[in-house]
A = this chain, B = another copy of it.
Amino acid sequence: MVRRNPERRAALVDAAIEVLAKEGARGLTFRAVDIEAAVPPGTASNYFANRDDLLTQAGARVYERLQPDEETIARQRASTPDRETYAVLMREVVGRVSAFRTGYLALLELRLEATRRPKLRAVLTERVRADIEANMAYHEESGLPGDATAVKLLYLAFNWLIVEQLTLPEVLSEEERERLVTAAVERIVQP
């Protein structure tokens, strides 16, 4: 029997994200999710068919929570589409993603777990592809300068910048990270 209370389900998936970040993929059990969500033992196992289902939903939920809000989108749409705006936008994206620390760390755990679980790998591959394609579509629609190659190169550089910040925050100072975001846009986005 799979339970259908959507709020309870969302709370359990959010708890799974926290467990993934804190304990690693190996620490993600239904019992650990129940404890994190402060619900009675056995609750998570009523909501998810199996561990793959839980891992998959946790990944999808991180992407959902990383979407910009309406206000941010409206503000971006109202800006002049030039390289300065591009740099501001990229600083916002890097800031938003790294601020959801446990979500990003959970995604890294899921990527490593995907090397051991073909089903999870297939789901994450589709999700990451969709994310890159959404970035390219957003870019095209926005009228911002640069091409699809620039979108991909910035995706690569900023993902590792976030890994660096969240795993070994003393390697690059905050000032250095900000400087690298601006430099990346200036060099990679051709006028």
Determine the chain B residues whose CB is within 8 A of the CB of A156 once the complex forms. 156-158, 160-161, 164, 180, 184
Distance of A152 from chain B, by nearest CB (Å): 6
Q: With A and B bound together, what is the CA distance between A125 and B167 in angstroms?
A: 9
Question: With A and B bound together, what is the CA distance between A112 and B21 in angstroms?
Answer: 8
Q: How many copies does the complex hold?
A: 2
A187 — which chain B residues lie within 8 A by C-beta?
A: 150, 153, 187-188, 190
> Chain A 112-156, CB within 8 Å of chain B: the 1/0 string?
111110000100110011001000000000000000011011011
A87 within 8 A of partner (CB): no
Query: Is B24's CB under 8 angstroms from A112's CB?
Result: yes
A108–chain B nearest beta-carbon distance, Å: 6
Q: Please encode chain A, from 28 to 67, with 1 for each CB lying within 8 Å of some chain B CB and 0 for all others.
A: 0000000000000000000000000000000000000000
Known contacts: A153-B184, A160-B157, A187-B188. The answer to whether A167 contacts B24 by CB under 8 A is: no
Residue of B nearest to A176 (CB): B152
**Interface flag for A105 (CB, 8 Å):** yes
Q: Are B105 and A167 closer than 8 Å at their CB atoms?
A: no
Q: Are A114 and B160 within 8 A (Cβ)?
A: no
Residue of B nearest to A189 (CB): B187
Question: How far is B116's CA from A116's CA once the two chains are assembled, in angstroms?
Answer: 22
The interface residues of chain B lying within 8 Å CB-to-CB of A164 are 128, 156
A1-31 CB mask vs B (1 if < 8 Å, else 0) is 0000000000000000000011111110000
Residues of A whose CB lies within 8 Å of any CB of B are 21-27, 105, 108-109, 111-116, 121, 124-125, 128-129, 132, 149-150, 152-153, 155-161, 163-164, 166-168, 170-172, 179-180, 183-184, 187-188, 190
